[in-house]
Amino acid sequence: MDSQSSNSSQDSQDSALTITDENRSEILYFAYGSNLSTEQMRQRCPYSTAVGLGKLSGWRWIINERGYANIVKQVDEEGKGEGEEESHVYGMMYLLPTEDEERLDGYEGVPWAYEKVVLEASWVSSSSSGDEKEEDNNGGGEELTPVKVLAYVDRKRTAEGRPRGEYVGRMERGIEDAVGNWGMKGGYADELRRFWVDGL
């Protein structure tokens, strides 16, 4: 990696809140695309560790015109009805050490394809992730723990598009992993699949 990538990596290290001991040099990475697949992440970033599901409020998940997953900040619309739900994105959260962050920068095409940003997410237990409101089995609201996460965002290409053929298979593997092993709700998974499955 060039010096610019290394500096960018250090910047995110300094600004992201970790859930590890102070002497550790890992950050929380929020994966919302094909890196939902823990197998793919093991291949790309062998020292990373999957730690659970997270939620970004006020963001919207899309396939952009490049044919890859992206998240777009929700714009407040005038006349939005009371009680209307805020957009949200669910993703896998990984502990990411410095050396794996540099590898991931390469896979994500930093800085031309994606930019690295630090966002505030909510730590979500696997039983409450998905497309439903954050309520426990007793009908009460669940208090979600806020955490700082590293995310890769394409600010230049924010229009909806169709996914590349090879990307669909990788997304399906990631979705199956998140639903089957980490408690992501099927309804939320279907919201993602509508970009490549007609009729959803």
Q: What is the pLDDT of residues 80-114, one digit of tens each?
A: 545 557 899 999 999 999 999 999 999 999 999 99
Is 31 annotated in a binding site? The answer is yes
Is 57 annotated in a binding site? The answer is no
Q: Does a structural domain hold residue 39?
A: yes
Q: Does a structural domain hold residue 178?
A: yes
Q: Does a structural domain hold residue 200?
A: no
Domain of 129, in residue numbers = 3-193
Is 30 annotated in a binding site? The answer is yes
What is the percent of the chain where pLDDT is above 90?
67
Q: Does a structural domain hold residue 199?
A: no
CATH number for the domain that contains residue 176: 3.10.490.10
CA distances, 145 to each of 19, 54, 55, 122, 148 (Å): 11, 10, 10, 5, 10
Residue 55: name the closest of 26, 85, 30 by CA. Answer: 30
- How many structural domains are present in the chain? 1
Is 167 annotated in a binding site? The answer is no
Q: What is the pTM of this model?
A: 0.78
Q: Which residues of the chain have pLDDT under 50?
A: 1-21, 78-79, 81, 126-142, 200
CA distances, 129 to each of 27, 82, 181 (Å): 22, 23, 12
One-letter amino acid of 76: D
Residue 113: name the closest of 71, 150, 149, 155 by CA. Answer: 155
Q: Does a structural domain hold residue 94?
A: yes
The residues assigned a catalytic role are 108
Q: Does a structural domain hold residue 145?
A: yes
